């Protein structure tokens, strides 16, 4: 079974090896930068003052322009063609680097990372860039206690982005419902191949299936079963387009013992067979 290409964090700082890095886009992105479909095992943040091109995250195309920020979770796939024309930063970090046992910090990371795209107003973008510049300086200068300073600055940055989410949201869902949705999405990412029943996830969240369905309906306007099926289709599309695995291998990877059932299931939701989807979109 061929896995989707996964990139890990590499940097020049032994103390932070594999856990954190930040680079200026001036250092990394000269001319047109093209990256084929791949996934990361870390959180990926890209802030761009001025740019143009195409950026797709989990097959959704996002605007590339001025004052934008992308934030991806581990496991998501993306590809882009970018022409960077202004300042920017590319930051990478693992969950272990940022998250402690503090449940509030864990919740904040879930809140901020389940939105992949931020279009910021000029003043707010400059505020975010100020936080990133501070982090970049700490990372490059490495004065005493720089790791703690970086984590604190990350926390402030994410608070700012959470505020941005709340000020722009049109969803009437409560903070509690949003928190449960984010917890569910995290569980789906970890257990989808083995568990596809609403009851399993309701139990993990200490809810009844009725309560969980009500929360998903309020936040996303769909049932929990529909959300689970969407996540299965997303992972299937990731493997169809980013690997050369056979259809039966992908079916087994997703927890389907009968590949023919998986093919029918895929066609029902996507309108084409897995093989046709691969040929049409790859």
Owner of token pair 């870390």: 42
Query: Tens of pLDDT along 233-269?
Result: 999 999 998 888 899 999 999 999 999 999 999 999 9
Q: What is the model's pLDDT at position 257?
A: 92
* Cα–Cα dist 182/111, whole Å: 7
Q: What is the model's pLDDT at position 15?
A: 55
Pairing of strands 51-57, 20-24: unpaired
Q: What is the model's pLDDT at position 22?
A: 93
Domain boundaries, the chain: 6-168, 176-281
Please give the CATH architecture assigned to the domain spanning 6-168.
Answer: Sandwich (2.60)
Task: Give the chain's residues under pLDDT 70.
Answer: 1-17, 28-31, 100, 166-173, 282
Q: What is the model's pLDDT at position 282?
A: 60
Q: What is the model's pLDDT at position 34?
A: 73
How long a stretch of residues is the chain? 282
* Cα–Cα dist 223/121, whole Å: 34
CA angle at residue 221 from 216 to 225, to 5 degrees? 55
Please give the CATH architecture assigned to the domain spanning 176-281.
Answer: Orthogonal Bundle (1.10)
Is 139 within 8 Å of 92 (Cβ atoms)?
no
- Strand 68-72: give its sheet, edge to edge: 20-24, 88-93, 43-48, 68-72, 117-119
Is 55 within 8 Å of 70 (Cβ atoms)?
yes
Is 114 within 8 Å of 182 (Cβ atoms)?
yes
- What global pTM score does this model have? 0.80
């Amino acid at each position: 079974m061929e896995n989707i290409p996964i990139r890990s964090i590499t940097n020049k700082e032994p103390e932070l090896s594999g856990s954190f890095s930040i680079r200026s886009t001036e250092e990394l992105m000269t001319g047109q930068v093209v990256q084929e479909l791949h996934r990361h095992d870390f959180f990926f943040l890209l802030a761009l003052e001025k740019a143009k091109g195409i950026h797709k995250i989990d097959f959704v195309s996002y605007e590339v322009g001025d004052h934008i920020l992308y934030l991806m979770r581990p496991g998501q796939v993306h590809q882009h063609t970018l022409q960077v024309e202004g300042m920017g930063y590319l930051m990478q970090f693992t969950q272990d680097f940022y998250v402690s046992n503090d449940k509030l910090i864990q919740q904040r990371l879930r809140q901020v990372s389940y939105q992949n795209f931020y279009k910021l107003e000029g003043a707010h973008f400059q505020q975010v860039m100020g936080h990133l510049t501070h982090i970049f300086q700490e990372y490059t200068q490495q004065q005493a206690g720089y790791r703690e300073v970086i984590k604190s600055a990350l926390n402030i940055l994410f608070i700012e982005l959470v505020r941005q989410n709340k000020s722009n949201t049109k969803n009437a869902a409560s903070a509690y419902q949003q928190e449960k949705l984010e917890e569910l999405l995290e569980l789906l990412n970890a257990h989808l191949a083995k568990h596809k029943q609403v009851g399993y996830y309701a139990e993990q969240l200490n809810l009844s299936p009725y309560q969980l369905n009500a929360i998903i309906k309020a936040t996303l306007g769909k049932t929990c079963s529909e959300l689970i099926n969407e996540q299965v289709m997303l992972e299937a599309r990731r493997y169809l387009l980013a690997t050369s695995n056979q259809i039966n291998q992908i079916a087994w990877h997703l927890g389907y013992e009968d590949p023919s059932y998986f093919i029918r299931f895929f066609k029902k939701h996507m309108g084409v067979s897995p093989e046709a989807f691969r040929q049409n979109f790859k």
